[in-house]
Chains A and B, each alone.
Chain A
Amino acid sequence: MRRKFLVSVAKLVAIFAGIFSFLYLKKDENVSSSKKRLTTSFYLRPPGVLNEKHFLSSCIRCGACVKACPYNTLKLASFNDNASNGTPIFYASKIPCYLCDTLPCIAKCPSDALSKDILKQGIKSVNIGRAIVDESSCVAHFGIQCDACYRACPFLDKAIYLEYKRNERTNKHAMLVPKVNYDYCVGCGMCERACITKIPAISVLPSDFILGQRNDNYVKGWVEGDDSILKDVNTNKKLDKNKAMDYLNGAEF
């Protein structure tokens, strides 16, 4: 009798502990509605990731990169995150990547998940994402002077540059608006962290979300070496004589 009672008490305790821990987990997500918007929909990967597929197949989820980061930028995804469980991610609006010169995160990675080539090529070749400006909330576009993102960027004047624009409203002032150059921006998120608006007007998205790809036939003739994209293009024309015949002899004629 006593044992049965103990068993049912233990079961009750277990159920309550289960419910409690579940609620406790949920609590993590609801920090604030604005943060939730940013943190549950997408995530950024540490520097050195070539592409998501290659990364997922090689990361052993050891957390060496997380521990190596001196700024506590990275964290390992848990079940609360969208990213595959145990893989390193970061949210630029919380702590951005400071692009350490020696890239300790990549140096410590035991697998090929974070590419050692990036380590040799330096921080310029990092490809975390690209920054994008929301002109409707960026105060520089209102005509107010703000260059917080511009100054925060590690590639000052390259990845973000300020563009002079006539202020059509006052007709006598100039506006200095931030523009992002995608040839230089690596997606470190320093600008997003520095942005002064309530929810950052400049934010970093993973490259795949932003970058397109031009067709081979659009060559910038005025840029030296741009025709190199034609190098591997297959120029053999495949003409099918029968096609014309079939067309003429086809049912429509």
Chain B
Amino acid sequence: MVQNFKIGKYLILRRITQIGILLLFTFKSTEFILFGNLSSSVLLNSIKLSDPFAYLQIFLASFTLNFEFFLSALVIFLLYAVFLGRAFCAWVCPVNLITNFAELIRRYLKPAKLTNFKANTRYFLLFSFLLASFLFSEPSFEKISHIAIITRGIIFMQSSAIFVGILIFLADLFLQRNLVCSHLCPLGAFYSLISRYSLLKITYNLDKCTKCAKCINICPEPQVLNLVTKYSGKVLNPECIKCARCVDVCDDDAINFNLINFVKGKK
């Protein structure tokens, strides 16, 4: 009944980083490793990191440039733009835990699709939030961000996170598959926009592929796998969240991370 839901090593690794980062933020005794939350933090008591999208909103809202603050956002920007691509969504964001769970239940229940949001809606929302930040002099997405509410809820034990978490879960379960993360989330859209030229990519090998389509089936952003069954190459579409579910479910070793292949010397 449940097709190809397989727990693979990348899934386990992702859960470890996701939950690990949250735990490091939560406990007072680990503050020297990570201090703050996903909006802005200090790593190892020295390196300041900030969410570049939040920084952009603050810049538009206040039009002041705090150099240190700017640098802290730049570090994260470069980390994703140059190396990791949109990996934030799969490896850090706690909302991913909820939406993946909703997706799992969805595979059992197979409820009908109720809404029909397009994947481009998020870019429209991204732009609207930036405009609103400028107009109302307040980082407008940060004000209502479901990601921030869930993160704060976990780190600071706030009960409103339960409510918002349930709403996200229900939306993903009953309205549309991956509605929140793959269609609406402006932060996901932001990371998609900046990660076109990132180094980390998924590679696909047509010669090994047996065309079982398990990867397309499991992918939260299936449009990025348009090369599958057609030609070998890298998944260039920046909407790929590097969750490596496709790598996990592929029984034929046709899909992999380019860097890991590179290290193994396979090329």
Residues of A within 8 A of B (CB): 3, 6-7, 10-11, 14, 17-18, 21-22, 24-25, 28, 53-54, 56-64, 66-67, 75-76, 78-80, 84-86, 108, 110-112
Contacts and interface: CB of A to CB of B under 8 A. Distances in A.
Pick the most buried of A17, A54, A57, A60: most chain B CB atoms within 10 A of its CB: A60
Contact of B40 (A3, A17, A84, A110): A110
Contacts of B111: 7
Nearest to B72: A110
B66 A112 contact: yes
Given A25-B160, A66-B156, A67-B36, A84 B143 contact: yes
B62 A63 contact: no
B69 interface: yes
B85 interface: no
A64 B148 CA distance: 14
A84 B62 contact: no
A54 B138 CA distance: 9
B159 A28 contact: yes
Contacts of A86: 142-143, 145, 148-149, 152
Contact of B166 (A10, A21, A54, A63): A21
Contacts of B54: 60-61
A-side interface mostly? helix
Contacts, number: 128
B261 interface: no
B199 to A, nearest CB: 28
A84 B173 CA distance: 29
Contacts of B44: none
A62 B58 contact: no
Nearest to A9: B109
Contacts of B41: 62, 64
B163 A22 contact: yes
A247 to B, nearest CB: 44
Closest 6 CB pairs of A and B: A62-B40, A57-B62, A57-B61, A78-B160, A62-B39, A57-B137
A59 to B, nearest CB: 8
A10 B108 CA distance: 11
B31 interface: yes
B152 A67 contact: no
Given A7-B109, A62-B41, A18 B149 contact: no
Given A84-B143, A110-B50, A110-B69, A10 B40 contact: no
